[in-house]
Amino acid sequence: MERVYLDNNATTLVDPKVKAAMDPFFCEMYGNPNSLHTFGTETHPYLRIAMDRLYTGINADDQDDIIINSCATEGNNTVLKAVYFDLICGGRKNHIITSQIEHPSVINTCKFLENLGVEVSYLPVNKDGIVDLATLKRYLNPDKTALVSIMWANNETGLIMPIKELSEYCKGNGVLFHTDAVQAVGKLRVDVSEVAVDFLTFSAHKFHGPKGVGGLYVRKGVKITPLLHGGEQMGSKRAGTVNTPFLIGMGYAMELAIQNMQYEEMVVRKLRDKLEDAIAKISDTEIIGSRENRTPNTILVSIRGVEGEAMIWDLNQQGIAASTGSACASESLEPNPTFVAIGINKELAHTGIRLSLSRFTTEEEVDYAAIAIEKSVKRLRSISSTYK
């Protein structure tokens, strides 16, 4: 059976070139980079290259920090909790702004901080699924707001938030700005010199690097209390032995992603649009969000009369990996909060399915998926009690 992976917003395959680059650091150059002997120091040139690639990748200044950590969840936790420790505890500010469509690592950390007495505002999205400046202006209070945390691109819809506008407004009001750029890095041009972000998080496995390694960008001069205390790694800003092979893998994955940005923008987008057009031809389907303002690889579609879990089950039977935010597909029976927040149609929380491509997706795979999707919709609608 054909196997087609269209769930690249969940995770991606590790580029074989990346895997090969990591390989020598498991059994040959396995020294601890903090050791003084050659086993440790011989890794340094490779680690420096990896760091250079990451700094270049997001165009960070050498005076800024990119703290290497375990994942974007760690990065998001670090920022939110550091702001709590550094600015809110004992300070006069006691307010954090985020949005209703953030990743659980932001939303649930904010809820945790709420239990500690922090006031948190969860911004709604506008009719286009975007957190806009007008909304931020209504909630931001320069005297009280310590941090604004808005994702660069949404994982479900692929919709891109106006980070430049939002971050500059915060800067102008002396409020720190964080963006979870997990879905943007590797798919879109992310240049920290063009936006006024103080913190930015990313994760290697979303751009064909290994799982379990990520980065946290911190602009020069911004204080950040570590989440993990311990040794002096990462300038004492993130303790724990540096994961040499994974850091090297992430660096190379970043470079490859930047090299492939043009391909992503042209070819992946074209394939995505082809698949999207095919789906849009099926009657009573609704694609969420405008094409131009989305990451080039993502489609979120609501298919009337077809429940999301049944749909991805059916697609899985045909070898296709997709995802849904339907309540029926979650361990907790909770519908995906992004689907609820967008609320473009009420059924979206139950009918939305997401297809996400990568630079490894082929045209044959897209063609196969288009046929399979149509087949599944037909079958499930023939069973459906709500579709005529």
Partner 1 sequence: MPKNDLIGGSLWEQYSNKVSERMNNPLHRGEILEEEAKALGAKLIIADWGAEACGDAVRLYWAVDTNTDKIIKATFKSFGCGTAIASSDMMCELCLGKTVDEVIKITNIDVEKALRDEDGTAAIPPQKMHCSVMAYDVIKKAASLYKGVDMESLEDGLIVCECARVSLGTIKDVIRINDLKTVEEITQYTKAGAFCKSCIRPGGHEKRNYYLIDILKEVRAEMEKEKTQKYVEPKDFKSMSLVQKLKSVEKSLEAEVKPMLVADGGNLEVVDIRDNEGFSDVFVRYLGACRGCPASHTGTLYAIQNYLNEKLDKSIRVFPVE
Helices (H) and strands (E) in the chain, counts: 15, 13
Q: Which is nearer to partner 1, 107 or 218 (CB)?
A: 107
Name residue, tokens 């395959």.
13
Strand residues in the chain grouped as ranges (E): 4-5, 65-69, 95-99, 119-123, 145-149, 176-180, 199-203, 214-218, 285-287, 298-303, 320-321, 323-324, 352-356
Report the residue number, 134 or 333, with the smaller CB distance to partner 1: 333
352-356 and 298-303 strand pairing = antiparallel
**Which residue, 210 or 335, has its beta carbon nearer to partner 1?**
335
Q: Is 331 in the site for partner 1 (CB under 8 A)?
A: yes
Under the binding rule (CB under 8 A), the answer on residue 349 touching partner 1 is: yes
Question: Does position 85 bind partner 1 by CB under 8 A?
Answer: no
Single residue of 163, 327, 341, 370 touching partner 1 by CB under 8 A: 327
Nearest-angstrom CA–CA distance, 187 and 267: 12
Which residue in the set 20, 116, 266, 328 belongs to the binding site for partner 1 (CB under 8 A)?
328
Q: Compare residues 79 and 311 and give the one whose CB is closer to partner 1.
A: 311
Burial of 79 (0-12, 13-18, 19+ CB in 10 A): buried
Window of 25-33, 46-54, 345-353, 358-366 that interacts with partner 1 by CB under 8 A: 345-353
Binding of residue 332 to partner 1 (CB under 8 A):
yes
Q: Is 313 in the site for partner 1 (CB under 8 A)?
A: yes
Closest CA to 351 of 382, 312, 315: 312
What is the distance, to the nearest Å, from the Cα of residue 19 to the centroid of all Cα atoms in its chain? 22
Q: Please enumerate, as own/partner, the contacts of 340-345 that have beta carbons within 8 Å and a separation of 24 or more.
A: 340/100, 341/99, 341/100, 341/101, 341/124, 341/125, 342/101, 342/125, 342/129, 342/157, 342/288, 344/127, 344/129, 344/286, 344/288, 344/302, 345/286, 345/302
Report, in Å, the least distance between residue 306 CB and partner 1: 8
**Quick one: which of 75, 335, 337, 352 contacts partner 1 (CB under 8 A)?**
335
For partner 1, which is the closer residue by CB, 57 or 308?
Answer: 308
170 noted as active-site residue:
no
Q: Which of 52, 309, 367, 374 binds partner 1 (CB under 8 A)?
A: 309
Choose which of 57, 129, 158, 308 interacts with partner 1 (CB under 8 A): 308
Q: Which is nearer to partner 1, 179 or 351 (CB)?
A: 351
Pick from 14, 97, 310, 373: which binds partner 1 (CB under 8 A)? Answer: 310
Q: Which residues are catalytic?
A: 328
Residues lying near partner 1 in the complex (CB under 8 A) are found at 305-310, 313, 316-317, 326-329, 331-335, 346-347, 349-351, 382-387
